[in-house]
Amino acid sequence: MEQVEKMRHTLSHVLAAAVQELYPTTTFGVGPAIEDGFYYDIDFGDTKVSDADLKKIEKKMRGIVARKCEMAKREVAREEALEWAKQNGQKYKVELIEELPEEETITFYDLKDPRSGEVLFADLCKGPHVKDLGEVKAFQLMRTSGAYWRGDEKREMLTRIYGVAFETEEELEAYLARQEEAKKRDHRKLGKELDLFCFSELVGAGLPLFTPRGTILREEMSELSLGLRGKAGFKKVWTPHITKVDLYKKSGHYSKFGEELFMVHSQVNGEEFAMKPMNCPHHAQIFASKPRTYREMPVRYMEATTDYRDEKTGELGGLSRVRSLTQDDSHVFCRKEQIKDEIRQLVEIVRKLYSTVGMDKLRARLSYRDDSDKYLGDPELWRMAQEQIKQAAMDNGLDYFEQEGEAAFYGPKIDFMAEDALGREHQVATVQIDFVQPERFGLEFVNEKGEKERPVMIHHATLGSIERFLSVFIEHTGGWFPLWCAPEMVRVLTVNDKTEEYVGEVEEVLRGVVLNEPVQGNELRYEIDRSDDSLGKKIKRATEMKIPVVLIIGEKDAAERVVSVRTREGEEKVKLDELRGWLERKD
C-alpha cells in the first residue's frame, strides 16, 4: 500500500478518536481510505451532527496529530476482541468480528500518545498504518453525509464524515482548486447562466424544461447522433409514449423495474397504461410486425425519444439524473454471425461522435453478470455473449476493463466512459447484447434453409441520455461550445447607430453562411446587439454568454469595409469579402 493511502487510513482513526472525545456515546462503523482521502461511518445516536460541527472535530484532530501519537498494532484473541466490542457497546464492530473467518488473525491498532502512554482510540483494523502521526501531512474535513451500514438500505443510517488528505499542502491546495473549478463549471449553474434549461416546482422534480437555446443544443446533439447512425444503415422509427404494462411483463422489465413505472389510467375503460421507461420492447414489436427473412438482416432501428422513469426523489440532480430522459436509442436485430461486425460499426460510431464533441479519451467497461439471480436467460448464452464482447473489445483496440455485476438483466454490456476536461470519467455510450428479449418476444426470421431462426438484439445508445450527456458536455466545455452546436454562434455588436447600412451588409453575409460539419446544412445562428449600452458592456455580456464569435462594427470598420472579430483566441480584422469563408472554416 502506498504511503499516502496509509496516511489516509490512519487519519480515519484520528477522526474517530476526535469524535470519540467530543461525542463519548457514539458507535463506530468502518473507516477506510478512499480516493483523495478517507471517511468514517459513525452512529451518533440521537445527536445531530452536520457540516457545521466539522470545524471543531477537525480542530480536535489537529490537536491529536500535534501530539505525534503512534499507531501500535496488537494481535487480539477472537473472544477478547468480541468482549471488548460488546463491553464498549460497539455493535457494528461485534458484527464485523463475528464475520471474520476463524483462521484470520484479529489485529487492533491503538492510537497512543508515546509520552503519557494514553490510548486515544483503539480500533479493530487490519492496517496498515503510518508509524506515527508525524507522517500525517495535509488534510481537511469536507462534509458529512448519511450512509447505510454495510451499504444496505434496510439497515441503520450512519453519519459519514468525509475528509481529504495529501502528502503536501500544495497537493491539497490543488485539490481544493480543482473542486472550485468544477463548481464554476457545474452544468446546473451554467444552465441558468447561459439560459439553457430550467425547472419548475409546478412541473415537478427531475423534469427539465429546455429554453430556445438549450433546445438548439439538444437538437444539434441528437442530429449528430442520428446522422452518424443513419449513415450506418439505421432507420428512424417512432413509438408512442404510453403502452400497456403487458409489454413490460413480457419483456421482463416489469418484475425488475415495475416500481419505477409512471402509470397512466384510462378513464374510459379503466385500462392501465405505463409511460414508457425504455424503447427496446417497442422496437422489438416493430421487428415482429411482419415475417422476416435473413436477406434483410441485420435490421437496424433508431429513435431519439423521451422515456419516463419514476426515480427516487433523492436520486435526482440537475440533468444528470432526471425523470424524463431522452435516449438516442437504437436496436439491431441480427444473426449471431453478424454480432461482430455490428459491434465494430457501433464502436466506430461512438468514437466518431466523441471525437467530434472533443472528448477523445474513452475507456470501455465490459459489464458482466455475477452469480446473483437478478439476470434472465440461459447462462450458456451469457457466457457466449460475454466472450463476444471481450473479443470485440480486443478486436477494436478498446482501452477496456472488466467488471462483474454491472450487466443489464438481459445481457452483458460495453459501457463507454468518457474523460472530461477536468479528468473525470462519465459513463456515456453503451452497447449491449441481448438474447433474452428476442426469446421472450418470440422474434424470428427465416434463414437460407427455410428454417425459423432467432435473431440477437444489440442495444445501443451513443449519447446515452441526451440530458445526462449535456450535463457532461456542458461541464467538459465549461459552456464554451464549439461553433457548430453553440446556440448563438455569432453576436454582432454595434459601436453606435451610425453604421446601420454597413451592419445590413454584414447581416447579408451572415445569412449566406452555411456550415456543413459535423451537422449538415446548418445555418449560422446570430444575433445583433444594437442596444445603446456602451461597447464595453456589450462585450461583457457577450463574453458572459460565452458566444464563440463576436463581431464588432463601428465607423472605422465600415470605412475600411472590415469587421473586428473577437473570439476566445484573440481579436483580428477580417475583410467583409472574406467573412463568409472565415466563418465557414471556423470550428
Partner RNA sequence: GCCGACUUAGCUCAGUGGUAGAGCACGCCCAUGGUAAGGGCGGGGUCAUGAGUUCAAAUCUCAUAGUCGGCUCCA
Interface contacts to RNA, rule CB under 7 A: 48, 50-52, 143-148, 151-153, 157, 159-160, 188, 192, 199, 201, 204-206, 253, 257, 260-261, 277-278, 280, 309, 311-318, 321, 374, 408-409, 432, 459, 494-498, 532-537, 539-540, 543-544, 552-558, 564, 566, 571
Pairwise CA distance, residues 224 & 449, whole Å: 40
- Which is the catalytic residue, given 112, 365, 426, 459? 459
Instruction: Choose between 211 and 447: whose C-beta lies nearer to RNA.
Output: 211
Residue 280 among the catalytic residues: yes
Residues 6+ apart with CB under 8 A from 540: none
Instruction: Choose between 74 and 537: whose C-beta lies nearer to RNA.
Output: 537
Residue 485 among the catalytic residues: no
Pairwise CA distance, residues 454 & 440, whole Å: 11
CB of 467 to RNA, least distance (A): 12
CB of 9 to RNA, least distance (A): 18
**236: nearest Cα among 246, 224, 227:** 227
**Residues comprising the chain, all counted:** 587
Hey, which residues does 272 pair with through a beta bridge?
265
- Which is the catalytic residue, given 36, 132, 328, 329? 329
Instruction: Choose between 71 and 493: whose C-beta lies nearer to RNA.
Output: 493
Give, as one character, the DSSP assignment of residue 294.
Answer: G
Q: Which three cell numbers stand for residue 206?
A: 427531475
Angle 260-266-272 from CA coordinates, rounded to 5°? 40
Q: Classify 146 as helix, strand or coil.
A: strand
- Which is the catalytic residue, given 60, 229, 309, 365? 309
Angle 153-377-339 from CA coordinates, rounded to 5°? 115
Residue 132 among the catalytic residues: no
Q: Classify 362 as helix, strand or coil.
A: strand
Instruction: Choose between 184 and 231: whose C-beta lies nearer to RNA.
Output: 184
CB of 120 to RNA, least distance (A): 26
Q: Which three cell numbers stand for residue 335?
A: 444473426
Residues 6+ apart with CB under 8 A from 484: 220, 515, 517, 518, 519, 522, 587
Residue 459 among the catalytic residues: yes
Alpha helices (H) along 23-49: none
CB of 531 to RNA, least distance (A): 7
Instruction: Choose between 129 and 276: whose C-beta lies nearer to RNA.
Output: 276
Cis ω before 128 (30° cut-off from 0): yes
Q: Answer yes or no: are the C-beta atoms of 402 and 366 closer than 8 Å.
A: yes
Q: Which three cell numbers stand for residue 263?
A: 402509470
Helix (H) or strand (E) segment spanning residue 13: helix 3-22
- Which is the catalytic residue, given 213, 331, 426, 538? 331
Instruction: Choose between 16 and 122: whose C-beta lies nearer to RNA.
Output: 16
CB of 576 to RNA, least distance (A): 13
- Which is the catalytic residue, given 20, 327, 345, 386? 327
Helix (H) or strand (E) segment spanning residue 331: strand 324-334
Q: Which three cell numbers stand for residue 32?
A: 477506510
Instruction: Choose between 202 and 268: whose C-beta lies nearer to RNA.
Output: 202
Residue 327 among the catalytic residues: yes
Pairwise CA distance, residues 58 & 136, whole Å: 14
CB of 332 to RNA, least distance (A): 15
Instruction: Choose between 50 and 289: whose C-beta lies nearer to RNA.
Output: 50
CB of 102 to RNA, least distance (A): 28
Measured CA distances, 121 to 41, 72, 125, 137 (Å): 15, 11, 12, 20
CB of 116 to RNA, least distance (A): 35
- Return the C-alpha torsion angle 113, 118, 124, 128, nearest 10: 20
- Which is the catalytic residue, given 125, 280, 334, 485? 280
The H helix count followed by the E strand count for the chain is 18, 30
Sheet with strand 272-275: strands edge to edge: 242-244, 272-275, 263-265
Instruction: Choose between 52 and 268: whose C-beta lies nearer to RNA.
Output: 52
- Return the C-alpha torsion angle 309, 313, 316, 322, nearest 10: 20
Instruction: Choose between 71 and 343: whose C-beta lies nearer to RNA.
Output: 343
CB of 262 to RNA, least distance (A): 10
Residues 6+ apart with CB under 8 A from 581: none
CB of 83 to RNA, least distance (A): 30
Residue 415 among the catalytic residues: no
Residue 91 among the catalytic residues: no
Q: Which three cell numbers stand for residue 516?
A: 456543413
Alpha helices (H) along 445-586: 466-477, 500-512, 535-544, 555-560, 576-585
Catalytic residues: 280, 309, 327, 329, 331, 413, 459
